[in-house]
Amino acid sequence: QVQLVESGGGLVQAGGSLRLSCVLSGRTFSMTAMGWFRQAPGKEREFVGTISGTGGTSYTGSGRFAISRDSAKNTVYLQMSSLKPEDTAVYYCAARNSRYSSSAPNDYQYWGRGTQVTVSS
């Protein structure tokens, strides 16, 4: 069965960096597009970025985030830099039954439980 476990969240000062990790089990990256989403208090779930089964990436307009993966560890990463208080949210890792990327939450079948990122002023 497919499982995802996020980690790496925490408290960071504005302007700092943080790397989130997501361990995928039950599927291979070559068959799977992975997405990162976030949800801030009182707001809708927001697309952050995605990496396709072939390794191509796309992002929302931030320009401060980057996605990478380590196939040997079956782990995908979200590298965040120049963090702002507005980035404070629960960050979710997701996987879909396709190698093709999507920015739509409904296209993803599997979700982690989330990891909290808090950026202080």
Task: Answer yes or no: are the C-beta atoms of 79 and 17 closer than 8 Å.
Answer: yes
Length of the chain: 121
Task: Answer yes or no: are the C-beta atoms of 108 and 102 closer than 8 Å.
Answer: yes
> What mean pLDDT comes out for the span 94-112?
97
> What mean pLDDT comes out for the span 63-68?
96
Rg of the chain on CA atoms, in Å:
13
Strand-pair partners of 35: 50, 94
pLDDT level of residue 10 (50, 70, 90 thresholds): very high
